């Protein structure tokens, strides 16, 4: 800094460098605080399934050898909570990976074809009624695996939080494609909608416990949407249902590669 002061660098430039440095430090600090918050939330979220596993394992030790019903109940709870923890770890790694700004793998694809494939897989896996209305082929330029992952998260939620049919439609607008995924399930209270994409957010732990969710799916969906320049809208009413609407640009550029 002293060397710089004696050099030809003007006072204005020095002041500007100082301001830039301050901004960088503030950004680093905010990032650090966010990481800290994430680690603290994650530790808290891991504690719940671990406590359940521990208490059921103890119950199993105490009464499991003499009571088959207790043993079954305990083992089922242990398996469910272990699966949930496993999902949480996979999703947390996914969120960490997205942060590294891996270049997108952009190509032309037919949205109709992608939706048909994804829905066929979902139908086979879950034996649920996914109805769909598409126009003819709808071509866009984007990252296909990421878009598929985003669709999968929303379709999987529609399945988890409803019992009836799920309607999917895709339509072409002037500069975008709109995909809507509508379910007729439990719905989301209006005051909870602003938190929907927060990490670890779940509308109600009691209501959701049987779905074994983690509260990380929509946070991942949000990051994918951001990287693919997709806008997500949500309309929902409790006990009526939920509709997620995606506005997908017809074409995106790979920011990382184009730098
Ligand atoms: P989870 O693993 O809990 O499903 P998500 O991040 O995918 O995590 O969703 C966060 C929460 O938002 C869910 O726990 C649920 O309460 C609510 N939610 C998401 N999608 C729907 C939907 N289609 N209908 C009702 N509630 C939903």
Strand partners, 170: 134, 179
Helices 144-160 and 217-227 sit at what angle, rounded to 10 degrees? 150
Residue of 157, 184, 223, 240 to test ligand 1 pocket, by largest number of atoms within 8 Å of CB: 157
Asked whether 215 lines ligand 1 (CB < 6 A), one says yes
User: Among 133, 131, 137, which Cα is nearest to 155's?
Assistant: 131
Segment 117-133, tens digit of pLDDT: 999 989 888 988 899 87
Mean pLDDT value across residues 85-95: 88
Residue of 188, 221, 245 with the most ligand 1 atoms within 8 Å of its CB, for mutation: 188
Cβ atoms of 181 and 155 closer than 8 Å: yes
Which residue has the CA at smallest separation from atom 7 of ligand 1?
217
Give 246's pLDDT tier (boundaries 50, 70, 90): very high
Strand bridging mode 166-172 / 231-237: unpaired
Does 258 have pLDDT greater than 50?
A: no
pLDDT reported for residue 2: 65
The answer to whether residue 254 scores a pLDDT higher than 80 is no
pLDDT in tens, 164-197: 999 999 999 999 999 999 999 999 999 999 999 9
Say what the ipTM of the complex is.
0.99
Question: What local confidence, expressed as pLDDT, does residue 10 receive?
Answer: 78
Instruction: Give the nearest ligand 1 atom to 214 CA.
Output: 2
């Amino acid at each position: 800094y002293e060397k710089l002061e004696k050099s030809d660098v003007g006072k204005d430039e020095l002041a500007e460098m100082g301001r830039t440095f301050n901004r960088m430090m503030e950004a680093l600090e905010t990032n650090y605080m966010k990481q800290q918050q994430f680690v603290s939330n994650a530790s808290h979220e891991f504690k719940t399934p671990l406590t359940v596993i521990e208490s059921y394992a103890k119950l199993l030790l105490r009464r499991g050898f003499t009571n088959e019903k207790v043993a079954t109940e305990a083992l089922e709870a242990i398996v469910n909570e272990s699966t949930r923890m496993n999902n949480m770890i996979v999703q947390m790694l996914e969120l960490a990976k997205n942060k590294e700004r891996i270049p997108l793998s952009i190509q032309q694809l037919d949205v109709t074809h992608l939706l048909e494939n994804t829905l066929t897989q979902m139908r086979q896996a879950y034996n649920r009624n996914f109805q769909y209305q598409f126009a003819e082929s709808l071509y866009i330029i984007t990252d296909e695996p990421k878009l598929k992952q985003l669709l999968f998260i929303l379709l999987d939620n529609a399945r988890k939080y409803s019992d009836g049919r799920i309607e999917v439609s895709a339509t072409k607008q002037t500069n975008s494609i709109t995909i809507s995924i509508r379910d007729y399930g439990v719905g989301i209270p209006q005051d909870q909608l602003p938190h929907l994409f927060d990490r670890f957010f779940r509308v109600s732990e009691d209501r959701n416990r049987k779905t074994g969710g983690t509260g990380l799916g929509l946070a991942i969906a949000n990051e994918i949407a951001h990287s693919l320049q997709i806008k997500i809208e949500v309309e929902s009413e409790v006990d009526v249902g939920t509709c997620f609407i995606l506005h997908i640009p017809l074409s995106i550029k790979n920011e990382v590669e184009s730098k």
